Structure 1
Amino acid sequence: MKVVMLAAGVGSRLQAAPEKQMPKVLLRFDGKSLLQRHIDILKRHGIKEIVLAVGYRHEDIEREITAIGAEGFVRTVLNKDFTEGNIVTLWTVREEFCKDEPVLLMDADVLYDEGIITRLINSSHENCLLIDRDFDPGDEPVKICIRDNRIIEFRKWLTAEFDYCGESVGFFKLSSRIARQLIDQTGHYIAQSNREAPYEEAIRDLLLTSPPGTFACEDTTGLPWIEIDFQEDIERAKNQILPRIKNS
């Protein structure tokens, strides 16, 4: 199993001055960058390589990889069109999804408890999403909706009726077959010049068209994590999430 991690974006919603805006994967919490935290956790779970899709200020990320001695563990792939939608970033690393092995697809801008990755990797489901039912509803979270024990929606904006829903953590375990299908579907977006789409739309297409039982969820409710999108997320990560991670 390999990890493909998406870290190409600008992170413009953090609203820092351009000269101060670093890639989000380099944000530091308790002296460690998010990248270092990913590496430490994934190594403990037997992962042998992270393929890191980079773009914005990729040289800074390369320097961090060298500084922490991770050159043999992290391999970067450059998305030169990083100002476009993250579906373009996914397309940039498409070859990694066609190598007949399972893939963990991960957003890089997440601070999380190690138990979240444990739950994903150890899941009996070969195609698995993570759902947190304790979340603040609104337009920002990507939501997973469940009805009759099936995933029936996966989007920020909802119209379907459901039994319950939660927020997607942004980490996905994919079988080699579904990984290939995801890249095929991503290719349709690229061919149609729909390059501003979020990559979650391609996942959604597979979720809604695959036979029942193809995908499942693991519930991570209660385990601390946060996706870093806004400045207030950084403060919450430092003051609320990190202390819970350290005490878990």
Structure 2
Amino acid sequence: MSVTSGEPAFPNVLMLAAGRGRRLGRDPGEALPKVLLRFGGRSLLERHLQRLTSAGAGRVHLVVGYKSQLIEAELERLGRRADVTLIHNPDWQEGSAVSLDAGRAVLQAGGPVVLMDGDVIYGQALIERLFRSRHEAALLLDRELEPGDEPVKICVDGRGRIIDFAKRPEAAHEWHGESVGFFRFSAGVAAGLAERLQATIAQPGGRALEYEEPIRAMIREDAERDTSSGPAIFGFEDVSGLPWTEIDFMEDIAKAEALLPFLDGVPA
């Protein structure tokens, strides 16, 4: 399952789950962390852990902030507390780049890393495709996306290379798809992301930025690199047609519930 020769087959997982989910419009006093939303009787967190275990993940590192004690209680209920390392981000109300920075040690640990948004529901086939990718740095791309600025877009040129990665792309490109918000990085790319992340956080206004910004900077540099000496570092796996949805708004909860028959009990 390893992407890069000589690397461990079981990547560490770094999952971002520190925010409150303000766009769901719930009462702050009653709102749960999004990874505790339940679908089909199971929390998103339980679903993540089951999918990741089946895919062959290593240690799961969960960046938490808002009502983190409830997440810890869910892990205890599931009997999975010993399986997950909780990383507390006291500044969870800032940009998500700060949450990624809280998990910087995972990026620097010297092995491959799977980086994930915690607010996505998906089937086993999707995560398997990421784990089996042979790209040094892999993104998941869905060609079916809603128009507008909300989806993070993976922009591809005529050679099939990723040349931009943003809600509002700037680079001219042949076509684009939506990012699922899941990534698989080799040890070297993960370490490079940790360095770029530090620089991002240190710049004026850097703590308000989203975690995609340093990844985008690395993608743009890779797109400009002469590939005569080797293949592109960043590539994508096409997951068009596989069931998934990110849960940002109330209507996304309805979408997730509608997807359940296609997620559960369906072979990967």
Q: TM-score scaled by structure 2?
A: 0.90
> Given that residues 48 and 73 in structure 1 are in contact (C-alpha distance below 8 angstroms), is that contact kept between their aligned partners in structure 2?
no
Q: Are 2:83 and 1:65 equivalent residues in the alignment?
A: no
Moved more, 204-213 or 228-237: 204-213
SS state at 1:47 partner: coil
SS state at 2:264 partner: helix
What is the 5 A alignment of 1:7-156?
Answer: 7-147=17-157, 148-156=159-167
> Given that residues 144 and 154 in structure 1 are in contact (C-alpha distance below 8 angstroms), is that contact kept between their aligned partners in structure 2?
yes
Q: 1 CA distance for matches of 2:50 and 2:263? A: 14
Q: Which residue of 2 aligns with 1:177?
A: 188
Aligned residues: 247
Query: Cα RMSD over matched residues?
Result: 1.1
Q: 2:263 pairs with 229, 240, 245, which one? A: 245
SS state at 1:72 partner: helix
SS state at 1:159 partner: coil
Q: 1:207 pairs with 213, 219, 227, which one? A: 219
Amino acid paired to 2:103: V
Q: Which residue of 2 aligns with 1:233?
A: 252
1:7-62 residue CA offsets vs partner (Å, 9 max, x unmatched): 00110000001112110000000000000001001111221321000000000000
Q: Unaligned stretches of 5+ in structure 1?
A: none
Q: 1:162 pairs with 173, 180, 189, which one? A: 173
Q: Are 2:208 and 1:196 equivalent residues in the alignment?
A: yes
Q: Unaligned stretches of 5+ in structure 2?
A: 1-10
- What's the offset of the Cα at 1:89? 0.3
The 4+ residue runs of structure 1 with deviation greater than 3 A are none
Q: 1 CA distance for matches of 2:264 and 2:58? A: 25
Amino acid paired to 1:197: L
- What's the offset of the Cα at 1:86? 0.3
Q: TM-score scaled by structure 1?
A: 0.97
Q: 2 CA distance for matches of 1:227 and 1:97? A: 24
Percent pairwise identity: 45
Q: Which residue of 2 aligns with 1:221?
A: 240
